[in-house]
Amino acid sequence: MTTPTTISLPSDQDASGRTFDDLEVELVREALASGVLTSTKGSFTRTLEERFAALLGVGHVSACASGSAAVHIAVAALDPEPGDEIVTTSITDMGALTPILYQGAIPVFADVDRASGNVTAATIGDVLSPRTTAIIVTHLFGNPCDMTAIMDLAGRRGIPVIEDCAQAYLATSRGRPVGTIGAVGCFSLQQGKHITTGEGGLVVTNDAALARRVRLLVNKAWPYGEANPDHEFIALNYRMSELQGAVAVGQLSKLTDVVDRRRRAAAELTGSIRGLQGITVPEALTGDEHSWWKYPLLVDGRVVDGGPQGLAGELRVGGIASAPRYIQKPAFRCRVFAEQNTFGSSHWPFTLARAEALDYGQERFPGTFAYLDQVLVLPWNERYTGEHTRYLSEAIAAAVEKRSFAR
């Protein structure tokens, strides 16, 4: 018997799976040669904002320091009162959650759909209260939430929706790019995202008044270019630098191709592993388009011995680094929430919350626990070729066969 050859997959953590080339080098050289590295005076960050606005068909874009900064800016732009509730998801990055606390608001966790890991209108509806002032949705792994139903619910209650699109560049919901459907959309340019500047973020909106607040929140609340400027309210320096702006201008020109390639590779893998016993392939809702930040499988532990962990162990032997559970526990089980570690020993703003808003009992989150128990996240990349997707599908099929209880 011959030992199967292990091939290494392109990774977004190094040059094998990133798209930097002479274009970014030239743009950074230009930025340096200009001698202007602050976006308050340079032109690269502004160009990035204009081009991203044109690509998404959205009225206003502000670049910022990170995806976490983008969410913080979005929350602060809506200006909640201390103790107001912001409904969010139990499965997301912490950068989408701590900004709520920094603004003195209370994150209220909605459960997720056990098939997609996304919040739904039903799970959000279950936790709305008279104190809800915003809803934040995360389009998990690039799969759009059901925005039609969510916007319908939010619209009826007059509650603005923030879309966290850190993982979902160019994903569409019923033909509309995510980020442009709610009041504000947030994107990340962190190392492992579809396009990157190492760290960085983007905030988008069609609302001119919100756009002004967003710009202020990037700039210590200083209204550059306006008459009689003053620092209008509490705000940080969340600016992107021109070095990042230059890289981002280059990266943005590649985004459509990056997403197309990820879609083609995902369709290939889905075509070859759909129907494997105990495996459920990821799918967008009808009429929506996934943009494949990652490829999350569901593994049924009643069919595949060891469930996602068992399958991950088999894949590791072939050099495939997958992530069972994605995040190890629901966000509300992290210490910041469980111990209410915030400002000094105050526990503020949790001290302002209704007891029900802080009820993190397991029975309230059946979808969350079911999803985390079943999900196995495969790394994904625009550089995957047919050889890579075949390697993945053969490794998954062999692992399922080996671990199947039905053998």
Binding site residues, ligand PLP, CB under 6 A: 66-68, 71, 92-93, 95-96, 138, 164, 166-167, 188, 190, 201
CB of 311 to ligand PLP, least distance (A): 23
Cis peptide before 349 (omega within 30 of 0): yes
Question: What distance in Å separates the CA atoms of residue 127 and residue 225, rounded to the nearest whole number?
Answer: 42
Question: 193 vs 44, 92, 309, 364, 377, CA distance in Å?
Answer: 20, 14, 25, 31, 15
What residue spans of 81-222 are helical by DSSP H?
Answer: 98-102, 121-127, 147-157, 208-218
Of the pair 90, 393, the CB lying nearest ligand PLP is at 90
Question: What distance in Å separates the CA atoms of residue 169 and residue 353, rounded to the nearest whole number?
Answer: 34
CB of 71 to ligand PLP, least distance (A): 6
CB of 366 to ligand PLP, least distance (A): 22
Of the pair 96, 154, the CB lying nearest ligand PLP is at 96
Both tokens of residue 50?
């204009």
CB of 201 to ligand PLP, least distance (A): 6
Of the pair 67, 144, the CB lying nearest ligand PLP is at 67
CA angle, 59 then 62 then 67, to 5°: 120
Of the pair 310, 330, the CB lying nearest ligand PLP is at 330
Contact between 200 and 65 under an 8 Å Cβ cutoff? The reply is: yes
CB of 271 to ligand PLP, least distance (A): 27
Q: Where are the beta strands (DSSP E) in 106-249?
A: 106-110, 132-138, 161-164, 172-173, 176-177, 184-188, 201-205
Of the pair 19, 188, the CB lying nearest ligand PLP is at 188
CB of 390 to ligand PLP, least distance (A): 29
CB of 165 to ligand PLP, least distance (A): 8
Nearest-CB residue to ligand PLP? 67
Of the pair 83, 324, the CB lying nearest ligand PLP is at 324
Question: What distance in Å separates the CA atoms of residue 318 and residue 16, rounded to the nearest whole number?
Answer: 18
φ, ψ of residue 112 to 5 degrees: the values are: -120, 165
Nearest to 177 by CA among 136, 201, 210, 205: 205
Please name every residue paired with 404 in a beta bridge, in sequence order, or none if there are none: 304
Instruction: Return the number of other C-beta atoms located less than 10 Å from residue 220's C-beta.
Output: 15
Of the pair 178, 311, the CB lying nearest ligand PLP is at 178
3-class SS of residue 53 = helix
Q: Directed axis angle between helix 386-403 and helix 255-273, to 10°? A: 30
Of the pair 187, 391, the CB lying nearest ligand PLP is at 187
Of the pair 251, 393, the CB lying nearest ligand PLP is at 251
Of the pair 96, 124, the CB lying nearest ligand PLP is at 96
CB of 308 to ligand PLP, least distance (A): 20
Question: What distance in Å separates the CA atoms of residue 387 and residue 378, rounded to the nearest whole number?
Answer: 16
CB of 186 to ligand PLP, least distance (A): 7
Q: Biggest alpha carbon distance in the chain?
A: 79
CB of 305 to ligand PLP, least distance (A): 31
Question: What distance in Å separates the CA atoms of residue 60 and residue 184, rounded to the nearest whole number?
Answer: 10
Place of tokens 């995202």: 193
